[in-house]
Chains A and B, each alone.
Chain A
C-alpha cells in the first residue's frame, strides 16, 4: 500500500496554524455484486481556516465520494472507509456515528448541487434553518428565528424577515442555493464542503453565488472544499487544487501553479478539451480519447495510461506496471506521472502555445483492451461506465470522420 504524500499547508505560517481538516490516505470501497468498487484510492490533503481547496475531476473520479466520506454520510455494511480524516485533530473515521452526527452541521457543513431536492418542500425555508440551528444550540425558537433571518439577510435574500416564512418552491434557483448556504453557515462551521454548488444554475447566477461564497469565507474564515467539474469555477475561487482521476489524486498544488504549468497529461487533456473564451478560438478541440475507466477493474499501473499518448516517452513499461506516486515538480506542486519533469515542461510549453497547439501523440493501439470485455457499466457510475470494450470504440472515434487536424 503506497502512501501518498499529503499536500503541505500553503503559506509561511503553515506550522503555526493547525489545519482544520487533515485527510490521510483516505480509501473508500463499495462491495457490489460485480466486485469491489475502489471509489477513492489513497487521497491525502490538509486544509487551513480561510483556505479553499478545489477538487476537480470527471464523473466517477471519486470527488463526491471523498466529500461524503468526510461528512460521514457513507452508511451501510457494504461501504468501507479507511485512512484518517482529522477535523480539528479529531479522527472522524474511527468516531462513533453519534459523534459524527454532532459534528455535522456544527463544525462541518455541506452544500449540495441541486437545492430543490436538498430542501424539504413541505417546510418553510426558515423552519429548516431554525431546525438546523437548534439541533446544535440550546436556544429558544425566537432566538433561532432571529438567527435565521439574520443569516438569510447575509446571504443576500431581499426582505429576509418576510421571506423566512416562504417555502422552497417560492424561491428561484439562485435564492434556494443562497438559503442552502445560510443553513450550512448558521452554526459557523470551520469546514464548508460545496459539491457542485453552481452546476444547476445559470451563468449570471453562478457568478453571484461564487462571489457570495468568497465573501462569506472572508467573513466567517471557514475552510472550503469546492468540488466541481468546471475548471473555470475552480480557478475563480480556489487557493489549492486537487485533480482526481479514477479515485486517485493525479495533480495537486497551488491554483496558480496547476493552471499555469499543469504537469499531468490528464490535466493537459482537460484544458485542451474545453472551449475557452479567454484565448483565441481554436479550430478544433483536442479531446481525451476514450472514457474514464471502470473503478472495479482500474487499469494497472497509472490509471490514466489507456488514454495517455505520452507513454512512449517513459522508459520501459512503467506506465502499465507501476503506480506513479505524487512527486514534486515545483514547490508544493505535486504530480503523479512517470514522465521526467523537464520533459513535462517542454510538452506543456508546446501545448500551451496558441500558435502551434499540436495534437498529442495517439494512444498506442496495444494499450486498448480487447473488444469482447464485459460492457456493463459499474453500479456506482452510471455515467462513467467506461468499459474496456467501449474504450476500443471511442479511441478511434475521434479519428473516424475527417481525422486530419485542421490548422
Chain B
C-alpha cells in the first residue's frame, strides 16, 4: 500500500438542506458522496464515470480539498489531508493540480496568458531559475502553445488552446496528482483527441498520476488504467479498465455501456437505407426507465434497485458490499447481489 499516491476511505459529503428564517435547522441532507473507497498508484490514471448527480464532481473537489469531506479520510503520499486547515493545506497545494471543464470560465478574461500561467508560481513564491516569464514560456511550449503568445488574452485563443493554457497553469508547480473534471467535454471531437494525446504525453514525460472525471465512457476507457463507476454517491464497480469494459459485473455498468451510441450503423439499418423500407433495426440495448432517484432520499438497499431489471427482494433491503464477485479478476470489485457475466 505504501506505493499508493492517494488512498481514500469512507469518503462522504452530505450537503445540509436547511429550513426556517430565524432558527435555521437542518431538515435533510443531500448525500452527494456516501462513503467511497479507492486508491491510486503512482503514474496511474483512475477514471470516474457516472451520470449527472452521481457525486463524481464532488469527489474530485474533495480530493483537491476545494470542499471539506463530512467523513472519511484522504491520504496523499502518506499524509492525511482530510482535515487540514486552509493554511496547513497551502504548501500541499503544489502537489495537487486541477483541470476544469470549461476553458472559457476557468481563465480570467482580464489577465494575459503569462499572468494566468505564472499565478501559481507567484502565489507559492517559487523561485525560478530564469525568472517567472521564462518558466511560463517553457510551460507554454510543453503543452504545445507558442511561447510568444505570452502577452495574449484568453479570448484570442480557441477552445482547445484555452484548455492547454489551463493545463499549463496546472503543471506550473509540478504536481504529483492531477484531478481533471471533464477535461475534454467542452471541446470538438478533433480537438478533444489533441488534448487527450497531450494528457497522455505529459503523463509519460512527467510521471503524473491522474484522476479523470468524465461522463463519456469511450474517453474514460481510452485514458484510464483503472475505472470507477459511480451511482448516487456510491462506487458500484471499480477495476482495471479493459477488464471492466470487457466484462462488466454491475447491471448499471452494463446499462451504461449499452446506451453509448456507436459510430457504425446497424446492419439491418443499411438495408433500410438502401430503399427496402420498413422500420430501422436497432442495436440490442438495455433501456433504463426513468431518471436517477434523488440523492436527498436514496432508495434503500441497493440504490440501483428502482431501475434494475434483475432486482429481487433482497436488493430492496440489503445493501450489497463492494467486493470481488465470483469469477472476477483481482481488484475488480462490484457491488451487486446478482452480478452480470457470471461464470
Q: Is the C-beta of B300 less than 8 angstroms from some C-beta in chain A?
A: no
Question: Is B262 located at the chain interface by the 8 A CB criterion?
Answer: yes
Q: Is the CB of A376 closer than 8 A to any CB of chain B?
A: yes
Whether A275 sits at the interface, judged by CB under 8 Å, is: yes
0/1 interface trace, chain B 253-265, chain A, CB 8 Å (1 if under): 0011111111111
Q: Give 1 or 0 for each of B239-283: 1 = CB within 8 Å of chain A CB.
A: 000100100000000011111111111100110111101011011
Contact (Cβ within 8 A) A393 B198:
no
Asked whether A285 lies within 8 Å of B51 as measured between CB atoms, the reply is: no
Q: Which B residues between 25 and 56 are near A, CB-CB below 8 angstroms?
A: 51-52
Question: Can you name the residue of chain A whose Cβ is closest to the Cβ of B141?
Answer: A400
Chain B: minimal CB distance from A9 (Å): 9
- Complex Cα distance, B258 from A312, in Å, reads 41
Q: Are A398 and B245 also in contact (CB < 8 A) when A232-B261, A256-B274, A278-B262 are? A: no
Per the bound structure, the CA–CA distance linking A13 and B200 in Å amounts to 51
User: In the complex, A256→B161 CA distance in Å?
Assistant: 34
A401 interface contact, C-beta 8 A: yes
**Distance of B114 from chain A, by nearest CB (Å):** 15
CB nearest neighbor in B for A234: B263
Binary CB contact string for chain A from 149 to 191 against chain B (1 if under 8 A, 0 otherwise):
0000000000000000000000011110000000000000000
Q: How far is the CA of A271 from the CA of B193 in the complex (A)?
A: 11
CB distance from B163 to the nearest CB of A (A): 11
Please tell me if A88 contacts chain B, counting CB pairs below 8 Å: no
- The B interface is mostly helix, strand or loop, or mixed, namely helix
The answer to the question of B144 belonging to the interface, with a C-beta cut-off of 8 Å to chain A, is yes
A112 to chain B, nearest CB (A): 18
Given known contacts A202-B215, A208-B287, A287-B191, A12 and B275 CB-to-CB distance under 8 angstroms: yes
Interface size on A, residues (CB 8 A): 79
Which residues of B are found within 8 Å of A172, using beta-carbon distances? 291
Residue B80 CB within 8 A of the other chain: no
A384 touches B (CB below 8 Å): yes
Give chain A residues whose Cβ lies under 8 Å from the Cβ of B190: 58, 269-270, 273, 287-288
Task: Count chain B residues whose beta carbon lies closer than 8 angstroms to a beta carbon of A.
Answer: 72
B197 at the interface (CB under 8 A from A): yes
Contact indicator B245/A231 (Cβ below 8 Å): no
Q: Are A400 and B261 neighbours in the complex by a CB distance under 8 Å? A: no
Does B111 have its Cβ within 8 Å of any Cβ on chain A? no
For residue B205, CB closer than 8 A to chain A, the reply is yes
A286: Cβ under 8 A from any B Cβ: yes
Contact of B200 among A11, A271, A284, A384 (CB under 8 A): A284
Which of B159, B219, B261 has the most C-beta atoms of chain A within 10 angstroms of its own C-beta? Answer: B261
Inter-chain CA distance A269–B191, complex, in Å, is: 11
CA distance A288 to B161 in the complex (A): 14
Closest partner residue, chain A, to B217 (CB atom): A277
> Chain B nearest CB: distance from A185 CB in Å?
18
Q: In A169-222, which residues have CB < 8 Å from any B CB?
A: 172-175, 202-208, 210-211, 214, 218
The reply to whether B142 and A174 form a contact with Cβ atoms under 8 Å apart is no
Q: How far is the CA of A234 from the CA of B262 in the complex (A)?
A: 9
**Contact: A235 with B261, CB < 8 Å?**
yes
A355 to B272, CA, bound (A): 31
**Closest Cβ–Cβ distance, residue B113 to chain A (whole Å):** 12
The interface stretch among B86-94, B128-136, B145-153, B325-333 is B145-153
Instruction: Tell me if A44 is interfacial: C-beta within 8 Å of chain B.
Output: no
Enumerate chain B residues within 8 angstroms of A285, measured Cβ to Cβ.
193, 196-197, 222
Residue of A nearest to B145 (CB): A393
Decide if A393 touches B146 in the complex (CB within 8 Å): yes
Q: Does A255 contact B (CB under 8 A)?
A: yes
A10 in contact with B273 given A58-B190, A218-B279, A385-B158 (CB within 8 Å): yes
Closest to A399 in B: B144
A332 CB → nearest B CB, Å? 9
Among B152, B279, B280, B283, which residue has its beta carbon within 8 angstroms of that of A375?
Answer: B152
Asked whether B263 lies within 8 Å of A393 as measured between CB atoms, the reply is no
| Residues A401 and B260 in contact, CB atoms below 8 Å apart | no
Decide if A230 is an interface residue (CB 8 Å cutoff).
yes
A147 to chain B, nearest CB (A): 25
Contact A255 B144 (CB under 8 A): no
A255 CB contact (under 8 Å) in B164, B255, B270: B270
Q: Which of A205, A232, A275, A375 contacts B156 (CB 8 A)?
A: A375
Q: How far is the CA of A237 from the CA of B264 in the complex (A)?
A: 11
B285 within 8 A of A: yes
Contact B222 A275 (CB under 8 A): yes
User: Please, which residues of chain B bring their CB within 8 A of the CB of A270?
Assistant: 189-190
A residues near B215, Cβ cutoff 8 Å: 202-203
Q: Which residue of the partner chain, among A13, A204, A218, A233, contacts B288 with CB atoms under 8 Å?
A: A204
Residues of B261-319 contacting chain A, CB below 8 A: 261-266, 269-270, 272-275, 277, 279-280, 282-283, 285, 287-289, 291-292
> Contact at B260–A10, with CB atoms within 8 Å?
no
Interface residues of B in 209-234 (CB under 8 A from A): 215, 217-219, 221-222
Residue picked from A58, A230, A397, A398, most chain B C-beta under 10 Å = A397
A56 to chain B, nearest CB (A): 9
**A310 interfacial contact with B, CB 8 Å:** no
A251 vs B191: C-alpha distance in the bound complex, in angstroms? Answer: 20
Instruction: Across the interface, name the chain B residue whose C-beta is closest to A290.
Output: B190
Interface contact B158-A397, CB-CB below 8 Å: no
**Bound Cα distance from A154 to B339, whole angstroms:** 34
**What residues of chain A lie closer than 8 Å to B282, measured between beta carbons?**
211, 214
Q: Check A254 for interface membership: any CB of B closer than 8 A.
A: yes
Q: A385 to B155, alpha carbons, bound, how many Å?
A: 9
Closest 3 CB pairs of A and B: A397-B144, A11-B275, A232-B261
Chain A residues packing against B (C-beta within 8 Å): 10-14, 58-59, 172-175, 202-208, 210-211, 214, 218, 229-240, 254-256, 259-260, 269-278, 281-282, 284-289, 291-292, 371, 375-377, 382-387, 390, 392-394, 396-398, 400-402
Given contacts A232-B260, A234-B263, A401-B144, 13 further A-B contacts (CB under 8 A): A12-B275, A58-B189, A254-B274, A259-B263, A275-B222, A276-B262, A277-B245, A377-B156, A383-B159, A383-B188, A393-B145, A400-B142, A401-B198
15 contacts between A and B (CB under 8 A): A12-B275, A58-B188, A203-B260, A204-B256, A229-B189, A230-B261, A232-B263, A235-B265, A236-B261, A239-B280, A275-B222, A276-B263, A282-B222, A401-B142, A401-B144
